[in-house]
Homo-oligomer: A and B are copies of this chain.
Amino acid sequence: MRKLIKKGTHKRGLAPGTLVHTGERKTEKVRITVFDYDADSYREQQVDSVEECLVFKDRPSVTWINIDGLHQVEVLEQLGRAFGLHPLVLEDILHTEQRPKAEDYGDYYYLVARMFHEKETELDLKAEQISLILGSNFVISFQEREGDVFDPVRERIRTGKGRVRKMGADYLAYALLDAIVDSYFVNLESIADRIESVEDELIDSPSPRTLQALYRLKSETLYFRKLIRPLRELVGALEREESPLLSKDLKVFLRDLYDHTVQVIDTVETLREMLMGMLDIYLSSISNRMNAVMKVLTIIATIFIPLTFIAGVYGMNFDYMPELHWRWGYLTVLLVMGAIFVGMLIYFRRKDWI
Contact = CB atoms under 8 A, between A and B. Distances in A.
Nearest to A277: B218
A312 B277 CA distance: 50
Given A98-B259, A302-B296, A305-B308, A4 B291 contact: no
Contact of A324 (B212, B281, B319): B319
B186 A277 contact: no
Interface in A294-343: 294-298, 300-302, 304-309, 311-321, 323-330, 333-334, 337
A189 interface: yes
B186 A12 contact: yes
Contact of A317 (B189, B300, B321): B321
Nearest to A278: B215
A252 B186 contact: no
A320 to B, nearest CB: 6
Interface stretch (A37-45, A55-63, A151-159): A151-159
A162 B17 contact: yes
A54 interface: no
A295 B311 CA distance: 24
Interface string A282-302: 111111111101111110111
Given A183-B12, A285-B208, A297 B296 contact: no
Given A4-B270, A262-B99, A284-B211, A162 B15 contact: yes
B199 A1 contact: yes
Interface stretch (A27-35, A137-145, A219-227, A239-247): A219-227
Interface stretch (A71-79, A114-122, A127-135, A190-198): A190-198
Nearest to A307: B309
A152 B13 contact: yes
A5 B192 contact: yes
Nearest to A191: B5
Contacts of A252: 86, 88, 103, 105
Given A305-B308, A316-B317, A317-B317, 17 more contacts: A2-B196, A4-B188, A4-B192, A4-B271, A5-B185, A8-B186, A12-B152, A18-B162, A86-B252, A101-B259, A297-B298, A300-B305, A305-B305, A311-B312, A317-B324, A318-B333, A321-B330
Nearest first, the 7 closest Cβ-Cβ pairs linking A and B are A15-B162, A311-B312, A8-B185, A13-B152, A314-B316, A318-B330, A297-B298
